[in-house]
Amino acid sequence: MSARVVDALGTWCPVPIYLIDRAARGAGAGEVIELLADDPLIEVDLPAWCHRSGNALLELRRDGDAYIGRVEITRPAGGGDGPPRDPFPGRSATG
């Protein structure tokens, strides 16, 4: 089975995460989404999004000037056992 590809090349934070989040909402559990991005912040943003959303980061690698991330959707879109966990509990948005 091939992965759904989300092309975020040429975009900057937060667009790549917005695009993969939107694709994940339309995906079923077990589907794999491949994200193409060239924003270096994806090295931090994609693992954080996976942690927050409850999905599994299978791979994140550099390919020339771009990054390829593969994510397995492990939580049903709009379902699950409540909202995603806060990756930084006890910290507020203001510090």
- Of 3, 11, 13, 57, which residue is the catalytic one? 13
Task: Name the helix (H) or strand (E) containing 49.
Answer: helix 42-53
Whole-number Cα distances in Å, 75 to 25, 29, 67: 9, 6, 24
Q: How far is CA 39 from CA 29, 44, 63, 93, in A?
A: 27, 10, 12, 23
13 is annotated as an active-site residue: yes
pLDDT band at 76 (very low <50, low <70, confident <90, very high): low
Q: Which of 16-25, 45-54, 79-88 has the lowest mean pLDDT?
A: 79-88
pTM given for the model: 0.78
Residue 77 pLDDT exceeds 60? no
Residue 74's pLDDT band (boundaries 50, 70, 90)? very high
Peptide bond into 14 cis (omega under 30): yes
